[in-house]
Amino acid sequence: MVHPVIGTWDVSLKTPIGTLRATYVFHDTGGVPAGTASTAAETVALTAVTCADARVTWRQSVTRPMRLHLDFDVVVEGDTLAGHSRAGRLPRTVVTGTRRPSGQVTRPAR
């Protein structure tokens, strides 16, 4: 099964402190989706990645700009994704992204 999120994504997270940009790389590991998120400051593994049709959820922990545990819930439509992330009791953060064409070099977002 090919998951709709597989590929490299340029993602923006609109937070109360400003827009953060990250590069997400999703891949298939024997039928199970997995991935990483990269910024100029760090690269972290994604956990609990699940795909249910176009809906994709995952978790990740970051240490910059502060230590947070984030839960993501997005919908993939073609080469775009949209949804939200949430860190505990903090307000939801709007998440949007576009898939890079295959073969394009993957570099962390700045």
C-alpha to C-alpha distance for 33 and 12, rounded to whole angstroms: 21
Give me the domains of the chain, ranges plus CATH numbers: 7-99 (2.40.128.20)
- Cis amide leading into 65 (omega within 30): yes
Q: What pTM did the predictor assign?
A: 0.90
Show pLDDT as tens, one digit a residue, over the chain (110 residues).
578 999 999 999 998 888 999 999 999 998 899 999 999 999 999 999 999 999 999 999 998 878 899 999 999 999 999 999 999 888 999 999 999 998 665 555 55
In terms of phi and psi (left: phi > 0; alpha: psi -120 to 50; beta: otherwise), the region of 4 is alpha
